[in-house]
Amino acid sequence: MTEATKLNSLKHLAKQYARANRITLNHALNLVAAKLGFANWTKLVSASKNDWIPSSEQMTSVEAFVAHALPAADFQAGHPEAMTRRFACLEQAEQGMIEGHEYRIQVALHDVVMVGDGWSITVPENPGARPIVQTSTENDGKCPVLNPEFLQQALTLARQRAAQVRGEISTDWPRRSTKPDHEGMVRHPLWGDESAVWFCLRCDGKINGPQIAQSLWHCPDCGASPLDIFNTAFWCEDGGKSLPPVKADGAKDNDKPDFRVVNDRPKLDLNPEKITLLIRSALLDDATNISEKLGALQAEITVDDENDVWISLEEDLWPHDKEPIQALIVAAQLGLEVELETMWSTIPFHWPGLGELTSSTREYTQMMLDAYAQYDSSPDSKT
């Protein structure tokens, strides 16, 4: 790689870093230069004119620097060695141990979730949202996140990973979505509209371009996602002229975690869908042949507001004198009252009696095909 090619590569990497961290290109160039041991980009260019060329190892280090996409503000007054140590720490942060406690970090829908035994920390995609710390009700005060030193270390790792995720988002978006022009004009990363004023559908807030770009297109007031941000307040008669502007939030302590105690023990929620599923499964247990299996599948099962159950069984598929014993037992286990009735409906195939001759779906299918063939009908014909 020639001197010019390597210099162009460094410029390209700096541009990527600028987009990921929503900073100016000049600032990113200076940070890349600092990574290579120069005071600023001008000094690096001067050195290149005197035959200095970055080595392959140095190029690799810059590529790693850009790939991590950590906030440049953290390194404005830092030393390159400090940056290197922080990157090395972050590379090992996907799983590891803090003060003898194991943890795992994963990304779910752009939220960073750090999980340990009986605790978790969630850093939302929204840069203005508070981290959420959850503990189990069964920890008895022994959860490690209740230790301030442990919590601080864990939050640092989770926030660093979140900074990477936000950097990846910014890189994917148009440059104008995260860097307003001199008039405050920004481009919506999803819709492509451009404006210096934006409106939140959820809280009716009016947001200026720099505010919405800085918050990664989340409402600075209510935290609504980019899906709720529009350049016109189409839901207001006056087009949003009367809506109040969102103020820069200097009052909230967004760095302070939101502690929550959750009961993570399994809890049975018997809603109508789950009751219907269990009753139908029990009907299949009662079925002894294909006709009855089809009857169980075709049965209409209704659950009322008090969780009482009505079971309507097809007359031609389920014997009128056969009680669904297993279904009644399951209902009794769940504390439900059951009403049985028969109904007439359109059955899926002719000759329901064929299903009474076998319990094998394979055998029944062949019997059905043979029966239809006698009438020169295909299985797709309407019955």
- Please tell me whether residues 104 and 161 are part of one structural domain: yes
Q: Which of 190, 219, 250 is the last residue of a domain?
A: 250
Could you tell me if residue 258 is inside a domain? Answer: no
Least confident of 82-86, 136-140, 167-171, 277-281: 82-86
pLDDT of amino acid 250: 46
pLDDT level of residue 256 (50, 70, 90 thresholds): confident
Q: pTM value?
A: 0.56
Could you tell me if residue 265 is inside a domain? Answer: no
Predicted confidence (pLDDT) at residue 254 exceeds the cutoff of 80: no
Q: Which of 44, 62, 90 is the last residue of a domain?
A: 90
pLDDT of amino acid 306: 78
Could you tell me if residue 205 is inside a domain? Answer: yes
Tens digit of pLDDT for each residue in 67-105? 765 443 333 344 445 445 444 544 545 778 898 888 989
Strand stretches in the chain, DSSP E: 95-98, 101-108, 111-116, 119-123, 132-136, 186-187, 194-195, 197-200, 206-208, 229-230, 258-262, 300-303, 309-314, 338-343
Could you tell me if residue 262 is inside a domain? Answer: no
Tens digit of pLDDT for each residue in 288-347? 999 999 999 999 999 988 778 999 999 999 998 899 999 999 999 999 999 999 998 888
pLDDT of amino acid 251: 43
Could you tell me if residue 264 is inside a domain? Answer: no
**Can you tell me the mean pLDDT for 202-226?**
91
- Please tell me whether residues 199 and 288 are part of one structural domain: no
- Please tell me whether residues 225 and 135 are part of one structural domain: no
C-alpha atoms less than 13 angstroms from C-alpha of 83 in its C-beta half-sphere: 25
Domain count of the fold of the chain: 4
Helices 80-91 and 25-35: crossing angle in degrees, nearest 10, is 90
**Can you tell me the mean pLDDT for 140-155?**
86
pLDDT of amino acid 107: 85
- Please tell me whether residues 134 and 189 are part of one structural domain: no
Expressed in angstroms, the distance from the first to the final Cα of the chain is 75
- Please tell me whether residues 168 and 182 are part of one structural domain: no
Strand stretches in 232-314, DSSP E: 258-262, 300-303, 309-314
Could you tell me if residue 316 is inside a domain? Answer: yes
Q: Which of 115, 146, 172 is the last residue of a domain?
A: 172
- Please tell me whether residues 366 and 279 are part of one structural domain: yes
pLDDT of amino acid 16: 81
pLDDT of amino acid 78: 44
Q: What is the DSSP letter of 379?
A: T
- Closest C-alpha among 373, 311, 382 to residue 349: 382
pLDDT of amino acid 269: 83
Enclosing domain of residue 318: 272-373
- Please tell me whether residues 124 and 142 are part of one structural domain: yes
Question: What is the full DSSP assignment across 217-237?
Answer: TS-TTT---GGGEESS-TTST
- Please tell me whether residues 193 and 115 are part of one structural domain: no
Q: What is the DSSP letter of 244?
A: P
Helices 25-35 and 41-49: crossing angle in degrees, nearest 10, is 60
Q: Would residue 50 be called left, alpha or beta, if left means φ above 0 and alpha means ψ between -120 and 50 degrees?
A: alpha
Tens digit of pLDDT for each residue in 104-143? 898 888 899 998 888 899 999 999 899 999 887 666 667 8
- Please tell me whether residues 86 and 98 are part of one structural domain: no
pLDDT level of residue 248 (50, 70, 90 thresholds): low
pLDDT level of residue 284 (50, 70, 90 thresholds): very high
- Please tell me whether residues 116 and 70 are part of one structural domain: no
Q: Which residue has the tokens 């409906």?
A: 345
pLDDT of amino acid 76: 39
Phi and psi torsions of 214, nearest 5°: -65, -30
- Please tell me whether residues 278 and 368 are part of one structural domain: yes
Distance of CA 295 to the CA centre of its chain: 40
- Please tell me whether residues 119 and 159 are part of one structural domain: yes
**Can you tell me the mean pLDDT for 7-30?**
82
pLDDT of amino acid 17: 83
Could you tell me if residue 381 is inside a domain? Answer: no
Least confident of 49-58, 73-82, 239-248, 253-262: 73-82
pLDDT of amino acid 380: 58
Both tokens of 187, joined, read 């481009």
Give the chain's mean pLDDT. 84
10 Å Cβ neighbour count for 120?
21
Could you tell me if residue 383 is inside a domain? Answer: no
In this prediction, what percent of the chain has a pLDDT beyond 90?
38
pLDDT of amino acid 86: 47
**Can you tell me the mean pLDDT for 359-365?**
94
pLDDT level of residue 262 (50, 70, 90 thresholds): confident
